[in-house]
Chain A
Amino acid sequence: MLAALLISPAVLFIGLLVGAPLVLAVYLSFTDATAGSLTGPWIGFENFRHELRDPIFVDAIWHTFLFTAISQAVVIVCAGLLAHALVHAFPGRWILRFFILLPWAAPIALTAIGFLWFYDTQASIFTWFLVKLHLVSATNHPTWLGTPTAAMSSIITVQAWRTIPFATVIFLAGIASIPQEVDDAAAIDGATGLRKFWHVSLPLQLPIALVAILFGIVFTATDMVVPYILTAGGPFNSTQVLTTWAFQTGINSGNVGEGAAIALFMLPLLAFVTIAMLFFARRAEVT
């Protein structure tokens, strides 16, 4: 009884601020609502049909996939390595961990602007560096945000850069959660190095690591800060992802209904991640 009283404000609040807007988003996606109105004429699946015929939208789904898959693959490898190197104490660990945490702690909307400067067409520090190493010529260097492939690589780099610290932190928690006895038992049984990692450490830390990975996937696929600030979807929509396209359609062009329809294409991914999370959370609890 008391429990219900303590929980109900939270449930009510979340229902009003997450549940209701979600329903409203679904409703809007079936209407022709434009900026300045909460409702619009019901047009059925017209928004969805229109988007699926639009090459920019179809490309945006592909870009979202590339952006998420590549950046998170890089993150898993780097964070896995880092977490294993950081788990045991060594002189200087505090300050090195501080440096590694920086990209996660700083507001990404601001650091993304920093990268806008690092990728500057005239004075990019990356270009200067490569010129010094004689890897590119000073007169014919890459424009980091200027061509489709370079722009995609650039925003993937920034996304990986900013997600690595968070994944590292959660991987560390996963490694730390393995009881010392398990380690000792494995050592007594003669398991060392890679064998121990593969048969003992990895399975035990997998549930927590998977939660970190699923988080990274959701926050990358559904976030728009990095592409919005660095490229705003350009050049020629080559870095347009679902979120930036929804923002451009719904806010900049004022087609609220159509923007809502675009954003709803994130739901299948969210549903998949939700099911996966439930599955792994339960498994983690059993072990």
Chain B
Amino acid sequence: MTVALRRRMFQYGVVVPFAIVLAFPFAWMAVTSLKPEGQVYEQSKTWTFSPTLENYGYLLHHTGYMRWIRNSCLVGLAVVLITLAIALPAGYALARLAGRVGRSLGVGIFLTYLVPPTLLFLPLSRVVSELHLGDRLWSLILVYPSFTVPFAIWLLMGFFKSIPQELEDAALIDGCSRLGALVRIVFPISAPGILTVVIFTFSLVVNEFVYAITFITSSANRTLTVGVPTDLIRGDLYNWPGIMAAILIPSIPMALVYNAFLNRFITGFTGGAFR
């Protein structure tokens, strides 16, 4: 057996079983979501059933689902804008700041990303209610940057470090101001990196659960991750096919986007420290 063939066998032998196990839950969700509600409990109908889209229709038209998606997107967009406004300048400065100070500050900001929401949600819930933001999307827009900003600064630092200093110096010699060089040279080159930050920041926001379940109390203001487990399960509707549809609808596009931006994410994530 040749070395190449042995390697191929190792690759498929490992990757295929893992892919099946890791993706199977989504396949089963898809199957369940297409079943008529009455058939999901029958083992004899595991794979043979009369497929229907009525669960999707019910979910989209008779529950708060669309509203929760809208809320998640609104919060996501607002948080992305705030995060970029704060993290872009900081990430750039930290990448260019030579020596110990810059590096320590960068690592220090990154470490705040490790402080978990489960440690801060109790004091923040008090602050939110003192500010009369309880049960309002503004509470999430205010609090979410606490984890998106450190995360975004870290990624951006990695991207900016990969841009040669000489490019900027050339622009300065050509009469560009420091800020002009930033806006005209650095930002356009790092556009893919910035887009990566936008996407992963947005997904962090959509994924967040602890703050959303603590601060938001009324159904109309829920975000996706909280609306589905609270209203679709504990509400009057306990229909599993509809819930499976509710999980699949946001999951598949997000996975596609992750896959497309994965290599850039790795560059930024590991580039900040390991370059």
B120 within 8 A of A: yes
Contact of A263 among B92, B122, B233 (CB under 8 A): B122
The answer to whether A90 touches B8, judged by C-beta atoms less than 8 angstroms apart, is yes
**Chain A positions 243-261 with a Cβ under 8 Å from a chain B Cβ:** 243, 246-247, 250-251, 256, 259-260
Which residue among B26, B119, B229, B259 has the maximum number of chain A CB atoms within 10 Å of its CB? B119
Q: Bound complex: CA of A22 vs CA of B146, how far in Å? A: 12
The answer to whether A281 touches B250, judged by C-beta atoms less than 8 angstroms apart, is no
The answer to whether A114 touches B29, judged by C-beta atoms less than 8 angstroms apart, is yes
Dominant secondary structure at the B interface: helix
Q: Bound complex: CA of A131 vs CA of B43, how far in Å? A: 10
**Chain B positions 4-48 with a Cβ under 8 Å from a chain A Cβ:** 7-8, 10-16, 18-23, 25-26, 28-29, 32, 40-43, 46
A2: chain B residues within 8 A (beta carbon): 93, 178
Q: Bound complex: CA of A177 vs CA of B89, how far in Å? A: 28
Interface flags, A23-57, vs B, CB<8A=1, else 0: 01100100001001110000000000000000000
- Cβ of A5 to closest chain B Cβ, rounded Å: 8
Q: Bound complex: CA of A270 vs CA of B118, how far in Å? A: 12
The answer to whether B122 touches A260, judged by C-beta atoms less than 8 angstroms apart, is yes
Contact of B89 among A7, A164, A284 (CB under 8 A): A7
Q: Bound complex: CA of A180 vs CA of B240, how far in Å? A: 50
The answer to whether B126 touches A82, judged by C-beta atoms less than 8 angstroms apart, is no
**Chain A positions 213-229 with a Cβ under 8 Å from a chain B Cβ:** 218-219, 222-225, 228-229
A218: chain B residues within 8 A (beta carbon): 114, 116
Measured CB to CB, the nearest residue on chain B to A110 is B247
The answer to whether A7 touches B255, judged by C-beta atoms less than 8 angstroms apart, is no
**Chain B positions 239-253 with a Cβ under 8 Å from a chain A Cβ:** 240, 243-244, 246-247, 250-251
The answer to whether A177 touches B251, judged by C-beta atoms less than 8 angstroms apart, is no
Which residue among A114, A131, A177 has the maximum number of chain B CB atoms within 10 Å of its CB? A114
Which residue among A14, A84, A123, A228 has the maximum number of chain B CB atoms within 10 Å of its CB? A14
A28: chain B residues within 8 A (beta carbon): 122-123, 126
Measured CB to CB, the nearest residue on chain B to A263 is B119
A107: chain B residues within 8 A (beta carbon): 206-207, 224-225, 250-251, 254
B269: chain A residues within 8 A (beta carbon): 170, 173
B111 within 8 A of A: yes
Q: Bound complex: CA of A38 vs CA of B132, how far in Å? A: 13
The answer to whether A102 touches B115, judged by C-beta atoms less than 8 angstroms apart, is no
Interface flags, B212-246, vs A, CB<8A=1, else 0: 00100000000011101100010000001001101
The answer to whether B14 touches A85, judged by C-beta atoms less than 8 angstroms apart, is yes
Residue ranges of B at the interface with A (Cβ–Cβ < 8 Å): 7-8, 10-16, 18-23, 25-26, 28-29, 32, 40-43, 46, 85-87, 89-90, 92-94, 96-97, 102, 105, 107, 109, 111-112, 114-116, 118-127, 129-130, 142-143, 145-146, 149-150, 153, 178, 203, 206-207, 209-210, 214, 224-226, 228-229, 233, 240, 243-244, 246-247, 250-251, 254-259, 262, 265-266, 269-270, 273-274
Pairs across A and B, CB under 8 Å, 13 listed: A3-B97, A11-B90, A14-B150, A18-B112, A78-B18, A104-B258, A111-B247, A131-B43, A225-B210, A228-B209, A270-B114, A274-B114, A277-B114
